[in-house]
């Protein structure tokens, strides 16, 4: 067990409080926290307040213009965190809802999809990953940033978006989780079909975030895109 795994990361309590409607102050501040249990660096933005997970001096962030009103995810700040050759992830909306019965049956567990890009990416970012799916698509659930439960879904035939399969995959995955568990999803704002599907299933937006891997961390960027 590493030092970061020995205790809950403070950001987890902040995110679950926000999920319940209790947000940090709207003061424009940026708080620096240590990387999470897996060593992940990130910028997490809530309304008027931001958090940077990383081994970085707050005064250096401030000197580059980081604030709680959107500039913590400015490209100049992200490049400073990652370094010239580090990896910077997508700027995603963070949505959340509680798990529990949804009227859908849980998806069959799939052990034949390890090659799928969505599964490979999930296993790079998350632990305790499980994969469910059917003929329409798959859903991946695992513990991601700061140990929270995260879900992602993907249709095998993307031209079928809008037929309700995405919503069904989401609801079926929620039904398989412990009742009351907070489930988080990160969705690119430009992915309107996915965003609409999660919103239709009762997820609500609470934040935005960018994952960062500094250049000295190494690894295969192809698995992180």
Above 50 in pLDDT, residue 4?
Answer: no
pLDDT at 160: 62
pLDDT at 5: 42
How confident is residue 1, by pLDDT bands cut at 50, 70 and 90? very low
* CA triple 126-202-205, angle to 5 deg: 65
How confident is residue 218, by pLDDT bands cut at 50, 70 and 90? low
Task: Lowest mean pLDDT of 117-131, 183-197, 202-216, name the range.
Answer: 117-131
Provide the token pair at 34. 């240590």
Candidates 205, 153, 149; CA nearest to 177 is 149
What is the total count of domains within the chain?
Answer: 2
Task: Lowest mean pLDDT of 12-16, 74-78, 214-218, name the range.
Answer: 214-218
Distance, CA of 102 to CA of 106 (rounded, Å): 10
Candidates 36, 33, 14, 10; CA nearest to 23 is 14
pLDDT at 219: 53
For residues 45 and 56, state if they share a domain.
yes
pLDDT at 121: 86
pLDDT at 125: 84
Is the residue at 1 inside a domain? no
Q: Tens of pLDDT along 90-131?
A: 999 999 999 999 999 999 999 898 888 888 888 888 899 999
State whether residue 26 is helix, strand or coil.
coil
Is the residue at 4 inside a domain? no
Phi, psi of 102 (to 5 degrees): -130, -5
For residues 72 and 99, state if they share a domain.
no
Enclosing domain of residue 39: 10-93+208-223
For residues 107 and 48, state if they share a domain.
no
Distance, CA of 13 to CA of 123 (rounded, Å): 24
State whether residue 55 is helix, strand or coil.
coil
Q: Output the domain CATH number for residue 195.
A: 3.40.630.30
Share of the chain above pLDDT 90, in %: 76
For residues 77 and 153, state if they share a domain.
no
Answer whether 132's CB lies under 8 Å from 166's CB: no
Question: What residue has token string 């599907």?
Answer: 197
Answer whether 89's CB lies under 8 Å from 113's CB: no
**What is the chain's alpha carbon radius of gyration, rounded to the nearest angstrom?**
17
For residues 182 and 152, state if they share a domain.
yes
Q: Tens of pLDDT along 33-61?
A: 999 988 999 999 999 999 999 999 999 99
Question: What residue has token string 């995955």?
Answer: 173
Give bridge partners of residue 80 from the DSSP assignment: none
Candidates 139, 175, 171; CA nearest to 155 is 139
């Amino acid at each position: 067990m590493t030092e970061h795994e020995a205790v809950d990361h403070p950001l987890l309590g902040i995110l679950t409080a926000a999920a319940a409607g209790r947000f940090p102050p709207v003061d424009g501040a940026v708080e620096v926290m240590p990387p999470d249990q897996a060593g992940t660096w990130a910028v997490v933005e809530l309304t008027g307040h931001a958090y940077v997970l990383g081994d970085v001096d707050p005064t250096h962030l401030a000197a580059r213009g980081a604030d709680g009103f959107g500039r913590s995810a400015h490209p100049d700040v992200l490049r400073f965190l990652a370094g010239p050759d580090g990896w910077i992830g997508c700027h995603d909306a963070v949505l959340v809802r509680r798990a529990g019965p949804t009227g859908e049956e849980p998806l069959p567990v799939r052990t034949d999809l390890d090659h799928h890009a969505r599964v490979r990416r999930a296993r790079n970012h998350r632990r305790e990953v499980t994969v469910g799916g059917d003929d329409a698509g798959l859903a991946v659930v695992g513990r991601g940033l700061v140990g929270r439960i995260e879900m992602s879904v993907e249709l095998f035939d993307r031209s079928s978006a809008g037929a309700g399969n995405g919503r069904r995959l989401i609801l079926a995955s929620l039904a398989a989780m412990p009742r009351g568990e907070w489930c988080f999803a990160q969705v690119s704002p430009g992915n309107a079909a996915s965003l609409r599907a999660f919103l239709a299933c009762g997820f609500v937006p609470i934040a935005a975030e960018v994952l960062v891997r500094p250049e000295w961390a190494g690894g295969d960027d192809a698995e992180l895109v």
